[in-house]
């Protein structure tokens, strides 16, 4: 038997977690457009026994066993990346659904983007968000969508425009941020969201530790990539600090660079800063050993993959670094991404209440 195209099916535990978050009344119909092995809809039925279930999937290898095990469900083979395919299905495309559950494809080969039209506006979006917007077209007037999404949907530049629109117009809410990996050979960080629900719920994405009281003077991100840096020999120039120089909580083996003379600092910001500071990586596999104190008052140049938490004195810098290390399990949640982990200035500023 040929393997289904996307076999990262929803684990039962995760399906039940998502279903447990459903709070709406009056749900009569539920659909999963990427039904896979059906565990999301099964979890919905455990919570809402009388719901009528519909499902589609691109893989006939997924649909055929479900037809045998779930004869009461309405199931069809369909590539939901195009709503035209779905609209052609008898008894499917002309309906609206009270509940949509979705674990869409996460992959985005080559960082590709999809250009979509949604409610008279054009967006460039990731694979997952393309499936979300397709699904919302079939939501009933009081319907709601519950989805498992890669956390990058919430924090990447790629989906930001659409994400903000859905928050404003569809009451998009992040309901949970699971801190464990559910799939083998896949390290995707995920969020559980609702879109279209009428009730505002407590946002549970907040860190359990309050970092806002730490004595940070300002937060800056480096601008110069290793390819742009003008390296110099010996002790001339300014110390250049890349993530590879952050090792075991120490700053080691730094190169030196000359500062660009023709840079428009008023427009693009400075490339060098005065210590002391706490340096953290912007892009990395989250590693407590990469939280380092720059002790000196001298000038330094952070690379474009380093963020500096600038302080008034060395004592404050040591306090901040110690706190981050002690609260590492909470701090590391700012790093998201389905492949290489990264954080953003927006997330760091929000964590320390410096936005």
Domain(s) labelled CATH 3.40.50.150 in the chain stretch across 12-195
Q: Is the pLDDT of residue 355 over 80?
A: no
Percent of the chain with pLDDT over 90: 58
Q: Is the pLDDT of residue 107 over 80?
A: no
Least confident range from 200-204, 226-230, 232-236, 310-314: namely: 200-204
Q: What are the tens digits of pLDDT across the range 222-255?
A: 988 999 888 998 778 899 999 999 999 999 999 9
Is-contact 151 163, C-beta < 8 A? no
Tell me how many degrees the CA angle 11-26-23 measures, rounded to the nearest 5. 50
**Cβ–Cβ contacts within 10 Å for residue 266, how many?**
7
At residue 112 the predicted structure's pLDDT band, cuts being 50, 70 and 90, is low
Give the contacts of 197 (CB within 8 A, at least 6 positions apart). Answer: 23, 24, 144, 171, 173
The highest-confidence range among 3-7, 127-131, 204-208, by mean pLDDT, is 127-131
Phi-psi region of 269 (alpha: psi -120 to 50; beta: other; left: phi over 0): left
Domain(s) labelled CATH 3.90.220.20 in the chain stretch across 218-351
At residue 1 the predicted structure's pLDDT band, cuts being 50, 70 and 90, is very low
The highest-confidence range among 17-21, 158-162, 271-275, 292-296, by mean pLDDT, is 292-296
Alpha carbons 355 and 347: distance in angstroms, whole number? 9
Average pLDDT, the chain: 86
Alpha carbons 251 and 280: distance in angstroms, whole number? 11
Model's pTM, two decimal places? 0.62
Question: Regarding the domain with residue range 12-195, which homologous superfamily does it belong to in the CATH classification?
Answer: Vaccinia Virus protein VP39 (3.40.50.150)
At residue 208 the predicted structure's pLDDT band, cuts being 50, 70 and 90, is low
DSSP characters over 189-251:
-EEEEEES-SS----TTS-SS--TTS---EEEE--B-TTT-EEESTT-SEEEE-GGGEETTEE
> Quick one: which of 13, 14, 5 has its CA closest to 34?
5
Q: Is the pLDDT of residue 202 over 60?
A: no
- Residue 347's Cβ-count burial label (10 Å; 0-12, 13-18, 19+) is middle
Q: Is the pLDDT of residue 308 over 70?
A: yes
Fold of the CATH domain 218-351: Adenine-n6-DNA-methyltransferase TaqI; Chain A, domain 2 (3.90.220)
Alpha carbons 344 and 336: distance in angstroms, whole number? 9
Lookup: tokens for 135: 């699904």
Q: What are the tens digits of pLDDT across the range 286-305?
A: 788 999 999 999 999 999 99
> Quick one: which of 51, 21, 55 has its CA closest to 38?
55
Q: Is the pLDDT of residue 156 over 60?
A: yes
Give the contacts of 127 (CB within 8 A, at least 6 positions apart). Answer: 104, 105, 106, 107, 108, 112, 114
The DSSP code for 58 is S
């Amino acid at each position: 038997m040929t393997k289904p195209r996307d076999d990262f099916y929803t684990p039962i535990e995760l399906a039940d977690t998502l279903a447990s978050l459903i709070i709406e009344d009056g749900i009569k119909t539920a659909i999963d457009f990427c039904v896979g092995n059906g565990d999301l809809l099964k979890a919905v039925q455990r919570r809402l026994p009388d719901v009528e279930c519909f499902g589609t999937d691109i893989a006939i290898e997924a649909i055929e066993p479900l037809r045998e095990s779930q004869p009461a469900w309405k199931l069809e083979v369909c590539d939901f990346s195009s709503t035209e395919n779905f609209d052609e299905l008898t008894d499917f495309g002309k309906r609206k659904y009270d509940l949509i559950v979705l674990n869409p494809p996460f992959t985005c080969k080559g960082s590709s983007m999809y250009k979509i039209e949604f409610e008279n506006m054009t967006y460039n979006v990731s694979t997952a968000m393309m499936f979300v917007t397709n699904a919302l077209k079939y939501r009933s007037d009081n319907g709601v969508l519950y989805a498992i999404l890669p956390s990058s949907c919430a924090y990447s530049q790629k989906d930001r425009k659409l994400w903000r629109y859905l928050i404003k117009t569809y009451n998009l809410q992040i309901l949970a941020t699971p801190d464990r990996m559910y799939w083998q050979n896949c390290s995707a960080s995920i969020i559980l969201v609702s879109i279209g629900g009428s009730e505002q719920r407590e946002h549970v994405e907040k860190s359990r530790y309050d970092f806002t009281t730490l004595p940070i003077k300002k937060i800056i991100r480096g601008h110069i990539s290793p390819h742009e840096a003008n390296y110099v020999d010996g002790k001339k120039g300014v110390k250049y600090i890349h993530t590879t120089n952050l090792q075991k909580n120490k700053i080691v083996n730094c190169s030196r660079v000359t500062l660009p003379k023709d840079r428009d600092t008023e427009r693009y910001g400075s490339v060098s800063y005065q210590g002391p500071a706490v340096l953290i990586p912007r892009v990395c596999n989250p590693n407590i050993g990469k939280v380092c104190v720059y002790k000196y008052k001298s000038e330094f140049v952070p690379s474009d993959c380093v963020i500096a938490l600038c302080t008034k004195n060395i004592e404050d810098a040591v306090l901040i670094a110690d706190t981050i290390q002690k609260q590492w399990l909470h701090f590391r949640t700012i790093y998201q991404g389905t492949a290489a982990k990264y954080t953003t200035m927006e997330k760091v500023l929000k964590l320390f209440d410096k936005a």
